[in-house]
A and B are shown apart, each in its own frame.
Chain A
Amino acid sequence: MIISVASGKGGTGKTSVAVALALSLKEPVQLLDCDVEAPNGHIFMKPRWEKKETFFVQTPQVDEAKCTYCRACSQLCQFKAILVLGETILTFPEMCHACGGCFLVCEPKALNPGKKELGEIEEGWSGPIHFVHGRLRVGEPMSPPLIREVKKRTKKDTLAILDAPPGTSCPVIQTVKGSDYTILVTEPTPFGLYDLKLAVAALGTLNISCGVILNRADIGDNQVQTYLQSEGIPLLMEIPFDRKIAEGYAQGQSLVEIRPELKEKFQKLFQDIKGQIEKTPHE
């Protein structure tokens, strides 16, 4: 089973929820931090690292001696990663999406696979919890292939919790795709509500069921609750604003370390979600 935690708006408490859920459950669980641009799960999980791999993608390298400047590659490339001007050929690895098309269309075999580092993937253990995260190389724009690679570390027959990046675009889609359920974490403010609606729309395109955790539930207004009621989206939990939580969070303490009584609530929340997933008809 895969449960992802997403939000739309940043800083609403995705990581806090994902970590708290992982730490509360009695069943075997994996936590995969898919926010490869700004990964923070490890700060709270403090894993004992076991493995570190560098992830590369193939980008073209030109063998000028063989290149006939026919432009087949630059005409195929949708990402402006290859430019042929007269008898000059230039490649721009930072633009390359590693589709491999240029290698296939190059008849004189003048393009060789070079390596571009996308980032690193680290795996480790936090007690019985298998923890995985990716770290996008600074300056590299493309996070989805690295997220895909992080997700390949999910084990069959183990519950996987995926901590998604903020927003609603490709890195989020790449993360939540294939989830059995998504928990959306938001806060009761106009920004929280607006971005929640965007996240719900994005999940709708993927046919993923979702429920909402309202964090710092008492800092704003009640527009989020009204919206959830009108859309029939379950409100899974409310967590009030608590200076003690904020102070503990600042130093890398998880929600359930600061408020152990929440563990039971997260266990119940998981049972509720399991019930909802089992009710959902599968195609």
Chain B
Amino acid sequence: MNKIKELCVLSGKGGTGKTSIVGALAALIPKKVLVDCDVDAPDLHLLLAPNVKSREEFLGGRKAIIIPELCTDCGRCREVCRFEAINEDFHVDPTSCEGCGVCVHFCSFGAIEFPLAVCGEWYVSETRFGLMVHAQLGAGQENSGMLVALIRGKAHDLAEEKGLPLILVDGPPGIGCPVISSLTGADGVLIVTEPTLSGLHDLDRVLSLSDHFKIPGMVLINKYDLNQEMTDRIEIFCREKGLGVAGRLPYDPVVTEAMIQAKTIPEWSLNGLGAEISTIWERIQGQLLKD
């Protein structure tokens, strides 16, 4: 069997249409595993109504907890903590605690516990378009990068086990920890952008990131007709950077209509936007994911 290919969909700027595009590709591509790596604000499940087959706790990092009965108020923990997470009453603020364990190590009285925290859940599900691995990070929790790595690993196992040739990753916005975790080792990245200065600015940052990890990319300009001049500018930018343009899609209320009906774009508009995304997928396959 050929090597499993992995396509990661990113954007830098949020709200450019990553999840709607991934949902559409899910409907168009027959054999793949889907992964929603936007673990702190996942939305793909809202289009795909997954039937959860297995559910597991995600044990993220540890957090320090001071036991008042054992604490002597000596202040050593406050001296060694670089995150100002321990207040004058020797109470650890869990939102500031980085889980480094330095206070635990230096407490001479064994007064600091350091338990593993449940930071979220992750799921393997069946959808009408095949298998999907997804997760939900707990409210305000950390270690999203670790959770992303975990569900991508699970998707690889499933793809191998079931002989599926493609992993399609719906990535988070930004360029930080969970994005890096979604991107490293992928075969290609599809950057979904919009014709705005913000879209271009953040496209540039994602492109620098994918270059940094030497992952080839292509660009999709979504809602291109909201500003034709910016669309032209983005296409020139792509040409200068040697970056392929997978296509452009118009602003179309069909996207929101489909979302409200919990449908993907091709299910709602097979001949309109759905057909255009189908052409875009052919270009991605031909240029980005070819052997």
Contact = CB atoms under 8 A, between A and B. Distances in A.
Interface of A: 7-12, 15, 35, 37-38, 40, 43, 76, 78-79, 97-101, 104-105, 136, 138-143, 165-173, 177, 189-191, 194-195, 198, 201-202, 204-206, 219-221, 243, 246-247, 249-252
A168 B102 contact: no
Residue of A43, A169, A204 with highest tally of chain B CB at under 10 A = A169
Nearest to A198: B41
Contacts of A249: 196, 198
Contact of B95 (A101, A141, A173, A198): A173
A43 B260 CA distance: 32
Given A37-B174, A138-B205, A221-B260, A194 B43 contact: yes
Contacts of B180: 139, 141
Given A169-B144, A172-B40, 8 more contacts: A10-B11, A38-B202, A76-B101, A198-B41, A202-B140, A204-B139, A205-B95, A250-B226
B256 interface: yes
A43 B197 contact: yes
Interface in B121-160: 137, 139-142, 144-145
A172 B144 CA distance: 12
Interface in B179-228: 179-181, 194-198, 201-202, 205, 208-209, 212-213, 226-227
A166 B173 contact: yes
A100 B82 contact: yes
A138 B175 contact: yes
Interface residues of B, number: 65
A249 B230 CA distance: 11
Contact of A191 (B46, B176, B230): B46
A9 B43 contact: yes
A104 B41 contact: no
A251 B43 contact: no
Contacts of A252: 197
A126 B228 CA distance: 28
A10 B13 contact: yes
B102 A173 contact: no
B15 interface: yes
B198 to A, nearest CB: 4
B173 A169 contact: no
Contact of B177 (A143, A189, A198): A143
B117 interface: no
A139 B62 contact: no
A138 B179 CA distance: 11
Contact of B140 (A7, A138, A206): A206
